[in-house]
Amino acid sequence: MANKVVILGSLNVDTILRIKRVPQPGETLQMNDRSSAAGGKGANQAVAAARAGAETSFIGQVGNDDAGKFMIESLKDDQVDTSGINVDSGSGTGSAYIFLDENGQNSILVYGGANQKVTATEVHNGAEQIKHADFVVTQFETPQLAAIEAFKLAKEAGAMTILNPAPASEMLPELLELSDIVVPNETESASLTGIEVTDEASMMANAAAFEKMGVKNLIITVGSKGAFYSTEDGRHDFVPAFKVKAIDTTAAGDTFIGALSSQLKTDLSNIKEALTFAQRASSITVQRLGAMPSIPTKAEIEAASK
């Protein structure tokens, strides 16, 4: 049976600016290309989960504008339940500007817009979906107070909670306590613990620091190297990434989270297999241009695994 996944998160229209390199202060450079696509960490994760086979619902907010309509239709195209998305007439739909250089590395500017106005009221619009969820997932592109409300509802329903603390910021301790699994990248992990991620010993030190903060299960993604995991029952290991030539790393982390939530069992008994699946999904995403358009389907992930 497919996992039921609820994502609370951001909805952004991404504008991708292809450039040779990031300009220096005061410098003017020509762009090589410009394009727009559906994005936002929340939306990307929802599409990744849905394409990887999960029954996916979304809780979030857009503005009463063309960009908002575009985002809702984009999620519907991937069979994501959008009934939990509120339309706010007082603010615009979120947007992001992605500077993509010739090496496939990106720098991103984000306008939160309606995403930043998500409250407990909007979360309760998706309470029915949370009630039936296996996993409830959120990030930091919507307010943490809304995330706390969603995770409280998840706990009442017996669902597992996954926190992706991205982009890195100060974290409310209550949110950590309500998180069953925390999935930062190495930079985010270091910013939360003060311990730089350089090797397996430092990853174990990060896990110990998170445990003191009340986190039971930790997954640290380390870009093209792979992912480390540590569980409350004492299991830990490093799952290497698949070696590919990256064209665009946008949405690689979001693909990982969504694909992981689609496969992981709620008792975490298959964590290594689910991480391998998520790594494979991310390796496909980075070989394509754009955020949401680059996210693979389950069939593509399985085909790449053969």
Q: Which residues are catalytic?
A: 254
According to the annotation, is 18 in a ligand binding site? no
Amino acid at residue number 121: T
According to the annotation, is 221 in a ligand binding site? yes
According to the annotation, is 13 in a ligand binding site? yes
According to the annotation, is 254 in a ligand binding site? yes
According to the annotation, is 290 in a ligand binding site? yes
According to the annotation, is 222 in a ligand binding site? yes
Adjacency order of strands within the sheet including 12-18: 33-39, 12-18, 94-100, 106-111
According to the annotation, is 248 in a ligand binding site? yes
Q: State the DSSP string of 164-223.
A: ---S-----HHHHHT-SEE--BHHHHHHHHS----SHHHHHHHHHHHHHTT--EEEEEET
- Decide: 266 and 155 in contact? Cβ < 8 Å: no
Angstrom distance (rounded) from CA 281 to CA 279: 5
Q: State the DSSP string of 223-292.
A: TTTEEEEE-TTS-EEEEEPPP---S--TTHHHHHHHHHHHH--TT-TTHHHHHHHHHHHHHHHTTSSSSG
According to the annotation, is 138 in a ligand binding site? no
According to the annotation, is 226 in a ligand binding site? yes
According to the annotation, is 234 in a ligand binding site? no
Annotated binding-site positions for ATP: 185, 221-226, 253-254
Annotated binding-site positions: 12-14, 40-44, 141, 185, 221-226, 248, 250, 253-254, 285, 288, 290, 294
Annotated binding-site positions for substrate: 12-14, 40-44, 141, 254
Annotated binding-site positions for K(+): 248, 250, 285, 288, 290, 294
